[in-house]
Amino acid sequence: MTLTPTPTLLNQDQALSLVESAIQQSEADGIFISLRTSESALSRFSENQISQNISRNKFNLTITSYFGKRSASASTTELDPNAIQETIRRSEELARIAPDDPEWIPLLEPQTYEQRQPAFDQATATFSPLARGEIVQRVCALAAKAGVEGSGTLSTEAFLDVIGNSRGLRASDRGTEADFSFTARIEDGSSWSQRTAFAIAQLPIESLTEELIERALSSRHPREVSPGKYPVVFNGAAFAALLPWVIWNLDARAADEGRSFMSRTDEGGKPAGNRLGETLFSPLVQVQRHPAHPLLQMGTCFGDGLSNHYLDVIKDGIPQTLSYSRYWAQQQGKEPTGGLFPIVMSGSNQSLTDLIAQTERGILVNRSWYVRYVNPRTLEVTGMTRDGTFWIENGQIANPIKNLRFNQSLPDMLRDVDALSFVQRFGSSVIPGVRVKAFNFSSVTDSV
């Protein structure tokens, strides 16, 4: 087989053939190969005009060689057979001198994956720079007409992932993704949001732009409110910046070793297992790992070869599973799970407006920004509101307010969830709007 030396999106047969050939060239006890090839394009705009167009073709082949419990990896971005052979030899040379891995586990045997095809939208894969520019032009025209300064990005990507090892494991996934983000600013008012889909035709570009322009205009001249605990209605985009922190921390090893909010301790304060199966959150909180969700339709396997299938993560407010790596699963006599993503949280048929109408007094948060740990053990985080924060009075948005810094325990936040809206996709997550009975704001911030 002859492959072009110029990086481009291979088809699945070419990629699998390349992986097979590399495995056959190995002189190590074992070998694992990961291949990713992609074609992406992005238009960036600011001050209501296009400022940058980027088109990228990428190819990356990573080879990990094993000698006993020693291993090492090497990568190449070249399709040339000589470059690939040199990469194999380099990984073998490094593996021979590497120290033993104290958490070594054997290479993964062949796996069974869901019998479905991830979404691949041909129109998105071949979307032209001209078509992308025309969309951006319409967005900028809407912003200019309203007298706001618009900026953001519109991007598309098509990709193929293939993995294989010397034990016979083979897997491949391909997909497409389109993403739009928009910021509108005027005077001291601003707004932002972002949407992702597997097809560019599914992005609500113009309606989202109009919504964000209106929010930016409404957010001008904010008033100050005192820090404290308030009921909060979170836009889905804002909650999508908080919920993943909880899911990332559902790690079995951290819980068992006493390093997580999921840890149990004995009377002496020593680790005593985990809190799996306890009612920790509101019964409204239902979270799944659901790659086949209609808004996602993502791949069937993880990068290490484990199956990415449906899994209940939180049901009726009760954690159903923790994330087990292959090593920790072996230590604990469990089955490895792979990561607990993509994240899908169930919603309702209500709108965000409905949630606001049911709130006598509180705060509407449209963006959670710069979220960071305060205490990883309790999962307390800090962050700020941004891009349109509003005071709710008698079920209506009363006025914009100055942005606030929050210090909040995220498990407590999920415990206090009392209403949900319908779901939307943000990045690789599907998230509803959420109302929380009490959320702790620690100070006022001058951020816009």
pLDDT, tens digit (0-9, with 9 covering 90-100), for 372-383: 999 999 999 999
Same domain, 200 and 240: no
| Inside any domain, residue 79 | yes
Looking at residues 59-73, what average pLDDT do you find?
A: 98
Q: What's residue 447's pLDDT? A: 77
Number of neighbouring beta carbons within 10 Å of residue 215: 23
Rounded CA separation 170/21 (Å): 13
Q: What's residue 267's pLDDT? A: 84
- CATH of residue 17's domain is 3.30.2290.10
Q: What's residue 178's pLDDT? A: 98
Q: What's residue 2's pLDDT? A: 36
Angstrom distances, CA of residue 257 to CA of 261, 321, 374, 381, 410: 11, 16, 20, 21, 20
Residue 85, pLDDT > 90, answer yes
At 234, the pLDDT band (50, 70, 90 cuts) reads very high
Same domain, 192 and 315: no
356 backbone dihedrals φ, ψ, rounded to 5°? -65, -40
Looking at residues 410-419, what average pLDDT do you find?
A: 98
Same domain, 295 and 194: no
Question: Which of the 8 DSSP states describes residue 307?
Answer: B
Same domain, 43 and 65: yes
Same domain, 199 and 233: no
Are 43 and 53 within 8 A, CB to CB?
Answer: yes
Pairing of strands 429-444, 417-426: antiparallel
Angstrom distances, CA of residue 288 to CA of 165, 302, 312: 29, 16, 5
Total count of residues recorded for the chain:
448
Looking at residues 48-66, what average pLDDT do you find?
A: 97
Residue 73, pLDDT > 50, answer yes
Report the percentage of the chain scoring pLDDT > 90.
95
Number of domains within the chain: 2
Same domain, 315 and 184: no
Same domain, 302 and 209: no
| Inside any domain, residue 257 | no
Angstrom distances, CA of residue 227 to CA of 365, 440, 444: 14, 8, 7
Nearest by Cα to 12 from 178, 164, 165 = 164
| Inside any domain, residue 326 | no
Looking at residues 22-32, what average pLDDT do you find?
A: 98
Domain limit, last residue, from 161, 188, 214:
214
Same domain, 234 and 121: no
| Inside any domain, residue 272 | no
At 8, the pLDDT band (50, 70, 90 cuts) reads low
Q: What's residue 271's pLDDT? A: 86
Strand partners, 153: 44, 181
Are 431 and 239 within 8 A, CB to CB?
Answer: yes
At 250, the pLDDT band (50, 70, 90 cuts) reads very high
Q: Which tens digits make up the pLDDT trace of 278-333?
A: 999 999 999 999 999 999 999 999 999 999 999 999 999 999 999 999 999 999 99
Report the percentage of the chain scoring pLDDT > 70.
98
Same domain, 407 and 286: yes
| Inside any domain, residue 335 | no
Nearest by Cα to 203 from 434, 424, 50 = 424
Nearest by Cα to 172 from 185, 163, 181 = 163
Q: What's residue 9's pLDDT? A: 77
Same domain, 146 and 27: yes
| Inside any domain, residue 286 | yes
Angstrom distances, CA of residue 185 to CA of 45, 119, 212, 238, 243: 13, 35, 9, 18, 27
Q: What's residue 268's pLDDT? A: 83
Give me the DSSP letters along 5-23: SS-----HHHHHHHHHHHH
Q: What's residue 3's pLDDT? A: 36
Those residues whose C-beta lies under 8 Å from the C-beta of residue 90, and which sit 6 or more positions away, are: 74
- Can you say how many angstroms the Cα of residue 220 is from the centroid of all Cα atoms in its chain? 31
Average pLDDT, the chain: 96
Radius of gyration of the chain (CA): 24
Pairing of strands 228-234, 361-365: parallel
Rounded CA separation 325/246 (Å): 17
Strand partners, 383: 406
DSSP three-state, residue 52 = strand
Domain that holds residue 100: 12-214
Query: Any idea which of 140-149, 161-170, 261-270, 294-303 has the lowest mean pLDDT?
Result: 261-270
Angle at 292 between CA 287 and CA 296, to 5 degrees: 85
Rounded CA separation 311/347 (Å): 17
Q: What's residue 7's pLDDT? A: 43
96 backbone dihedrals φ, ψ, rounded to 5°? -65, -25
Same domain, 42 and 128: yes
Rounded CA separation 319/264 (Å): 14
Same domain, 292 and 190: no
Please provide the distance, in angstroms rounded to a whole number, between the alpha carbons at the two ends of the chain: 56
| Inside any domain, residue 105 | yes
| Inside any domain, residue 88 | yes
Residue 6, pLDDT > 60, answer no
Those residues whose C-beta lies under 8 Å from the C-beta of residue 72, and which sit 6 or more positions away, are: 64, 65, 91, 94, 95, 98
Angstrom distances, CA of residue 442 to CA of 94, 181, 385, 390: 51, 29, 12, 17
Give me the DSSP letters along 166-206: TTS-EEEEEEEEEEEEEEEEETTEEEEEEEEESSGGG--HH
Q: Which tens digits make up the pLDDT trace of 348-367?
A: 999 999 999 999 999 999 99
